[in-house]
Structure 1
Amino acid sequence: MKKYKIGGVPEHFNLPWYLTLKNKEYHSHDINLRWSDYHGGTGQMCKALREGEIDMAVILTEGIIRDIVNGNPCKIVQVFVNTPLIWGIHVAENSSYTTLDDLKGTQAAISRFGSGSHLMAYVNAENQGWDTDKDLDFTVIKNLQGALENLPEGNGDYFMWEKFMTKPHVDNGTFRLIDECPTPWPCFVIAVRNEILEKDPESIKTILRIINNTTIDFKNIPMIDKMIANRYQLELEDVQQWLSLTEWSQKNLTEKQVDYIQEKLVQLDLIEKKVDSQDIIWK
Structure 2
Amino acid sequence: MTDQPLRIGFVPEHFSAPLHFARDHYGLHADLVPFPSGTGHMITALRSNEIDVAVGLTEGWIAGLGKEGVEGDGGYRLVGTYVDTPLCWAISTGASRPEISSVASLQNSKIGVSRIGSGSYVMGFVLADQQSWLLSPTSSSSAAPPFSDTVVLNDFKTLRDGVNSGKADFFMWETFTSKKYHDSGEIRRVGEIYTPWSSWKIVASTRLVGGKGKPDPRVRDMFAKIDRGVERFERDPEGALRWITDNLDYSEADARAWLDTVKFTKGVEGVKTEVVQGCVDILRKAGVLVEGKGMQPADMIASDSS
TM-score, normalised to structure 1, is 0.92
**In the alignment, is residue 4 of structure 1 matched against residue 6 of structure 2?**
yes
Q: What corresponds to 1:145 in structure 2?
A: 157
Q: What corresponds to 1:29 in structure 2?
A: none
Matches within 5 A, 1:57-206: 57-70=54-67, 71=70, 72-96=74-98, 97-131=100-134, 133=144, 135-136=146-147, 137-197=149-209, 198=213, 200-206=215-221
**In the alignment, is residue 259 of structure 1 matched against residue 261 of structure 2?**
no
Query: 199, 202, 226: which one pairs with 1:211?
Result: 226
Distance, in Å, in 1 between the alignment partners of 2:75 and 2:166 is 38
**In the alignment, is residue 230 of structure 1 matched against residue 246 of structure 2?**
yes
Q: What corresponds to 1:277 in structure 2?
A: 297
SS at match of 1:142: coil
Tell me the matched-pair count. Answer: 278
Note if contact 1:219-1:243 (Cα within 8 Å) is conserved in structure 2: no
Pairwise CA distance, 1:135: 3.0
Note if contact 1:216-1:248 (Cα within 8 Å) is conserved in structure 2: no
Distance, in Å, in 2 between the alignment partners of 1:205 and 1:134 is 41
Note if contact 2:26-2:225 (Cα within 8 Å) is conserved in structure 1: no
Please tell me the residue identity of whatever aligns with 2:121.
H
**In the alignment, is residue 46 of structure 1 matched against residue 52 of structure 2?**
no
Pairwise CA distance, 1:268: 2.1
Distance, in Å, in 2 between the alignment partners of 1:204 and 1:2 is 12
Over residues 202-222 of structure 1, what are the superposed CA-to-partner deviations in whole Å (9 max), with x where a residue is unaligned?
221111111011113413324
Please tell me the residue identity of whatever aligns with 2:260.
S
Identity %: 26
Over residues 239-278 of structure 1, what are the superposed CA-to-partner deviations in whole Å (9 max), with x where a residue is unaligned?
1121111011124332211111111122222222364433
Please tell me the residue identity of whatever aligns with 1:214.
G
Distance, in Å, in 1 between the alignment partners of 2:216 and 2:92 is 41
> Is there any run of 5+ residues in structure 1 with no aligned partner, and where?
27-31
Over aligned residues, Cα RMSD in angstroms? 1.7
Distance, in Å, in 2 between the alignment partners of 1:52 and 1:22 is 25
Q: What corresponds to 1:33 in structure 2?
A: 30
